[in-house]
Amino acid sequence: MRINKFLAEKGVASRRHADEIIQAGRVTVNGILATLGVNVEDGDEVCVDGQPLSREEKQEKYYIMNKPKGVICTVSDDRGRKTVMDLLPEDAGRVFPVGRLDYETEGLLILTNDGELSYKLTHPTSEV
């Protein structure tokens, strides 16, 4: 598995942000500085900032929220608006909203770290 996907599955960062972490020299595989595109195999020791990542399987998390009006449906906002992430408990971990609701819309929203479920919900006619 590619290193950026591995880091994303471990909840370290999104794949895109994982690439930035790797390029910054913050990731090692078996004590060797990781490069973009390197593959991680079972038994490899992967460290971020010198801290080894657990080899345990990722535990999927699911949250169902009634998104109120005046909250943006995104993980972060560069304009400082309140996001759905601000409404989750502090220990929610790295999750993301499935789908979108407009800023002034309220309604049911699912947040998860389960990428496969997210894909199936947003692409109902696609095969995974």
> What pTM, to 2 d.p., does this model score?
0.59
Please write the tens of the pLDDT for every residue from 60-107: 889 999 999 999 999 889 999 999 999 999 888 888 899 889 999 999
d(CA 97, CA 82): 14
Whether 4 contacts 21, CB under 8 Å:
no
Kindly report which listed range (42-46, 98-102, 107-111, 116-120) carries the lowest average pLDDT score.
116-120
| Conformation bin of residue 29: beta by default, left when phi > 0, alpha when psi is -120 to 50 | beta
Q: Which of the residues 19, 49, 86, 102 is marked catalytic?
A: 102
Has 77 been annotated as catalytic? no
